[in-house]
Amino acid sequence: MKPTDIRNPDYFHKVVDCQWACPAHTPVPEYIRLIAQGRYDDAYMINWYSNVFPGVLGRTCDRPCEPACRRSRVEDGQSTEPVAICRLKRVAADYKDDIRARLPQVPKQKNGKRVALIGAGPASLTVARDLAPLGYHLAVYDQDPQGGGMMRTQIPKFRLPESVLDEEVGYIENLGLETHFGQRVDSLKAVLAENYDAVFVGCGAPRGRDLEIPGRQEAAANIHIGIDWLSSVSFGHIEKIGKRVIVLGGGNTAMDCCRSSKRLGGEDVKVIVRSGYEEMKASPWEKEDATHEGIPILNFLVPKTFVHHNGKLTGMTFEKVKAEYDAKGRRRLVPTGEPDHLYECDDVLIAIGQENSFPWIERDVGIEFDEWGMPKVDEVTFQSSRPGVFFGGDAAFGPKNIIWAVAHGHEAAISIDKFCNGEDVRERPAPMVNLMSQKMGIHEWSYDNDVSLDQRFKVPWNDVRATLKNIKLEVEKGFDPATAFKEAQRCLNCDAQTVFSHNLCIECDACVDICPMDCITFTDNADESDLRKRLNAPATNLTQDLYVSEALKTGRIMAKDEDVCLHCGLCAERCPTGAWDMQKFFLEMTHAGPSCRDKHSAPGRKAA
């Protein structure tokens, strides 16, 4: 193998599994350490710069970082639980002081550029957050009376209290936005006619999929589209539901529908899903939460009819199916032949999917759409086929989640800033990277490298009898500071990188002998597949790189499997020559502003 080029920012970035997996590349271990030190404000600000809504995301994020967490690959025995990265983010938000003084200032002197943002969901708000401090004039349109998008209209209050959302949406609205709330945009042409320098479309995926089976029309009064119903609940237009409720669908929307029903008078609430339990789209913890509230989930039932009596819904029939797999491992649902099942009910909520819809975009304004009615959007620049019109969030590539909307927003803001400065939007800025030794003394390191053996701590809940009575009472209480500290200590500090200097190594084997995970091998060089087999411990996880040095004095190389390294620093601690050093890798994405432009490459914001 060729020696590893650690100057490539991606190399060490990949080792920080959580940060690499986070769409917005939040510096996770950095904020977790700050939480352990009780520096909640600093932890919050790191998050705020990266993901804009720490308090919201600390409660609701889809947390792609957690399945990636190294902790789940190295733990002994049955426990393979990642660090509670998401709920630690909430800790920063819960215990911070007033941080308003640390928010960016809006310059008095505007830069003369005007940008329209359609929709006030997380995607648009991120664009606004990034562009407002640069002096842009931003006009935000939303049909709803308040900003926040689906964070406000869809996510139930018992998962996300309104005060948390108001605070974080407020930080952005206070950056001097021109808001047009309660105003639906019906024509993109009309917007374009106002000569904005750029337009960002962040209108989400607002249409819930319907289920056209017999009885749908007749019983319509008690059949509701899940996201429309949730939004009405959110705005207080709906306060009650029947005693017996069927929720159709296996995604997170279905989970929010059933749990909300339970709080609005539903006594016998059940979720009925076509697929098996494992294949359901809902996150495992959402399913657990529903189960915890006594809501059964019935699987392998395909809806056949809405049963009604004189136009009054009385139940639904389902065909029982089973999964069969063909030679290629593809799943097919085939009828079991059992007679149809009938479930009685008073109301049905349909939560079987969400779609984009752009009725307000004229098809002759230069924006190309594909055969599925989706705009053609560049995956890197987020620009549509009409220069100056950008898409992001659920509007760009279909429904995802908040953190993806934020990540899109950051990238779109860069494109808009470059576009408005006459630069090529395809030239993307490199991230800001810093690598710094953590050695403080002969045996002192600036991070706590004594790996804790604790298992994941549980977030305490409010009493379920109380939460089921009040749709606004938050279910989770969040960690107290003492438990937060213990959970933070489970983090392995994957950003404390093992950096090897081949010219210092005397090949004494001390690092090989001490490494608890058998990561390090000195051996003859070979190509990667061969080398992976010859290491002291097999390196079978191909998603994790091998760190390979240049040839040493004996002609051998050092090869380290990054996969299960604990970042304990024992290699550096036991190395007599300092050939290993633990260095903190801090990577922050470059956001819109002078440092993203080609012409003035000023350094990015300093690390905390």
Selection from another protein, ligand FAD, ligand SF4, none that 271 binds (CB < 5 to 8 A by kind) is none
Smallest separation (angstroms) from ligand FAD to the CB of 227: 5
Smallest separation (angstroms) from ligand SF4 to the CB of 34: 21
**Length reported for the chain:** 608
| DSSP secondary structure letters along 554-565 | TS-EEEEE-TT-
- Residues 505-534, mask of contacts with ligand SF4 (x by CB under 6 A): xxxxxxx--xxxx-xx--------------
| DSSP secondary structure letters along 284-349 | HHHHHHHHHTT--EE-SEEEEEEEEETTEEEEEEEEEEEEEE-TT--EEEEE--PPPEEEE-SEEE
Query: Interface with ligand FAD includes 82 (CB under 6 A)?
Result: no
Selection from ligand SF4, ligand FAD, another protein, none that 537 binds (CB < 5 to 8 A by kind) is another protein
DSSP state of 596: G
Of 269-277, 374-382, 386-394, 511-519: span binding another protein (CB under 8 A): 511-519
Our CB check for ligand FAD shows the closer of 357 and 523 to be: 357
Which of these, 239, 259, 244, lies nearest to 314 by C-alpha position? 244
Residues 74, 80: contact at Cβ < 8 Å?
no
Residues 478, 160: contact at Cβ < 8 Å?
no
CA distance 52 to 198: 22
- Residues 474-503, mask of contacts with ligand SF4 (x by CB under 6 A): ------------------------x-----
Selection from ligand FAD, another protein, ligand SF4, none that 395 binds (CB < 5 to 8 A by kind) is ligand FAD
List the one residue from 18, 45, 61, 175 that touches ligand FAD (CB under 6 A): 61
Selection from ligand SF4, ligand FAD, another protein, none that 554 binds (CB < 5 to 8 A by kind) is another protein
Which of these, 263, 255, 257, lies nearest to 289 by C-alpha position? 255
- Judged on CB neighbours under 10 Å (0-12, 13-18, 19+), 237 is exposed
Contact positions with ligand SF4 (CB under 6 A) in 540-599 = 565-571, 574-577, 579-580
CA distance 480 to 85: 15
Q: What are phi and psi of 81, to 5 degrees?
A: -90, 130
Selection from another protein, ligand FAD, ligand SF4, none that 91 binds (CB < 5 to 8 A by kind) is none
Query: Interface with ligand FAD includes 169 (CB under 6 A)?
Result: no
Selection from ligand FAD, ligand SF4, another protein, none that 567 binds (CB < 5 to 8 A by kind) is ligand SF4
CA distance 532 to 39: 41
- Judged on CB neighbours under 10 Å (0-12, 13-18, 19+), 443 is exposed
Query: Interface with another protein includes 423 (CB under 8 A)?
Result: no
Our CB check for ligand SF4 shows the closer of 114 and 584 to be: 584
As given in the structure block, the two tokens for residue 33 are 């350490």
- Residues 448-487, mask of contacts with another protein (x by CB under 8 A): -xxx-x----------------------------------
CA distance 173 to 147: 8
Contact positions with ligand FAD (CB under 6 A) in 187-206 = 202-204, 206
Smallest separation (angstroms) from ligand SF4 to the CB of 279: 36
List the one residue from 16, 22, 84, 185 that touches ligand FAD (CB under 6 A): 185
Which of these, 401, 373, 358, 460, lies nearest to 251 by C-alpha position? 401
Smallest separation (angstroms) from ligand SF4 to the CB of 560: 6
Bridge partners for 432 per DSSP? 588
Which of these, 430, 448, 429, lies nearest to 438 by C-alpha position? 448
Q: How far out from the chain centre does Cα 520 lie?
A: 33
Of 2-10, 60-68, 434-442, 510-518: span binding ligand FAD (CB under 6 A): 60-68
Our CB check for ligand SF4 shows the closer of 400 and 502 to be: 502
Continuous H helices in 432-591: 464-467, 481-489, 510-514, 528-534, 570-574
Which of these, 28, 20, 24, lies nearest to 92 by C-alpha position? 28
Query: Interface with ligand FAD includes 350 (CB under 6 A)?
Result: no
Query: Interface with another protein includes 295 (CB under 8 A)?
Result: no
CA distance 436 to 222: 62
List the one residue from 574, 595, 607, 608 that touches another protein (CB under 8 A): 574
The contacts of residue 337 (CB under 8 Å, 6+ apart) are none
Our CB check for ligand FAD shows the closer of 142 and 346 to be: 142
Our CB check for ligand SF4 shows the closer of 13 and 341 to be: 13
Smallest separation (angstroms) from ligand SF4 to the CB of 271: 43
Residues 383, 563: contact at Cβ < 8 Å?
no
Smallest separation (angstroms) from ligand SF4 to the CB of 398: 40
Our CB check for ligand FAD shows the closer of 152 and 418 to be: 152
CA distance 408 to 149: 15
Contact positions with ligand FAD (CB under 6 A) in 139-168 = 141-144, 149-151, 154-155
Binding footprint of another protein on the chain (CB under 8 A): 73-76, 443, 449-451, 453, 506-510, 512-514, 516-518, 521, 523-524, 534-538, 540, 553-554, 564, 566, 568-570, 573-577
Q: Which residues bind ligand SF4 (CB under 6 A)?
A: 498, 505-511, 514-517, 519-520, 565-571, 574-577, 579-580
The footprint of ligand FAD (CB under 6 A) covers 60-62, 118-124, 141-144, 149-151, 154-155, 184-185, 202-204, 206, 227, 230, 252-253, 256, 354, 360, 393-395, 399-403, 405
